Structure 1
Amino acid sequence: MLIRAARPDDGPQIAAISREARAHGMPWLAVVHTPAEDVDFFTNRVLAEQTVLVAEHAGERAGFAACRGSWLNHLYVAPRHWSFGIGSALIARVQASHDRLELWAFQRNEGARRFYRRHGFHDTEYTDGDNNEEREPDVRMVWQA
């Protein structure tokens, strides 16, 4: 596995990873954007405004993490690459360059919440979902070095 800084041409692939991971890991989650909107968002906003790492596994882009300051805004692994330690490698790399990280996870996403707890995050705030696009209750999680 290789972890590298994202390049401008990674946008379509990381958008696809996000979409596929969300569909497989959270089938109950409302889909609020088209695939084209996702590509535009990841290409023109996330890659332009955040620090993005891409994990490559078996010769293809397998996952990514995106941060802005202390906020981990995205961490997704393509489902066919689950259980190879890619998410753990990405979070370890992000934690190595921060003293504190915060993120939002959906309350119903128990798999993600267990993953983040294994990596030292704890729940600090719960919401009813009124402030996210999906209108899904979420939880703010924090990690401190």
Structure 2
Amino acid sequence: MTFPELTLRAFEPQDTDRLLDIWLSASRLGHPFLGDNILLAQRDIVRDVYLPGAENHVAVLDGQAVGFIGMMDCFIGGLFVDPAHHGHGIGRALVDYVSQQRPMLELDVYADNKLAPDFYRKLGFHEVSRRPHDDEGLPFEVILMRRG
């Protein structure tokens, strides 16, 4: 299902608090294996490093941000949709939006995430490799996926 009133736009600094709320609620759903202490520490990194340092696009529905995607060149640093809006095509719309200017996309996804690997496969991504630790060196397997 898609929403005709869904708009995609560039990140604005006033989006920060709402996007952090989306990030945390979606991360708690997709990454419960990390635990709340790690997620809360990562939220600070998202706020201080990733939101200001990446090319971010925001999905807005009825005047409220409902999801976002962060890009670093052709690498999707993060894709998060408010869990209340999962399954409605918002994540797909964000990926389709950034892919218009990029012939190839890559991303990392936790192998233990019960939702994301299948979501990305449905969008045409395939597994390229795996590594046993995440970017922080924690023992959580990460899958590199690519499309294009």
Q: Normalising TM by the smaller chain, what interval?
A: 0.7 to 0.9
- Paired residues for 1:45-84 under 5 Å: 45-84=49-88
Task: Kindly provide the CA deviation profile for residues 16-53 of structure 1, in whole angstroms up to 9, marking residues without a partner as x.
Answer: 11110011233223341437x62x43343223221100
2:12 to 7, 22, 37: 7
Aligned residues: 142
User: CA separation in 2, counterparts of 1:59 and 1:133?
Assistant: 38
The aligned residue for residue 120 of structure 2 is 116
- Per-residue deviation at 1:100? 1.2
User: Where has structure 1 moved over 6 Å in runs of 4 or more?
Assistant: none
- The DSSP-based 3-state class of the residue aligned with 2:120 is helix
- Paired residues for 1:102-141 under 5 Å: 102-129=106-133, 131-141=135-145
Preserved CA contact (<8 Å) 1:30 1:134:
no
Matched, 1:34 2:36: no
Q: Where does the alignment leave 5 or more consecutive residues of structure 1 unmatched?
A: none
1:14/1:132 CA distance change after superposition, 3 Å: same
Question: What one-letter code is carried by the residue in structure 1 that aligns with 2:59?
Answer: A
- Per-residue deviation at 1:59? 2.9
- Per-residue deviation at 1:132? 3.5
- Per-residue deviation at 1:81? 1.0
Q: Where does the alignment leave 5 or more consecutive residues of structure 2 unmatched?
A: 1-5
Preserved CA contact (<8 Å) 2:67 2:81:
yes
Root mean square deviation of aligned Cα? 1.9
TM-score (norm 2): 0.86
1:26/1:46 CA distance change after superposition, 3 Å: closer
Question: What one-letter code is carried by the residue in structure 1 that aligns with 2:117?
Answer: R
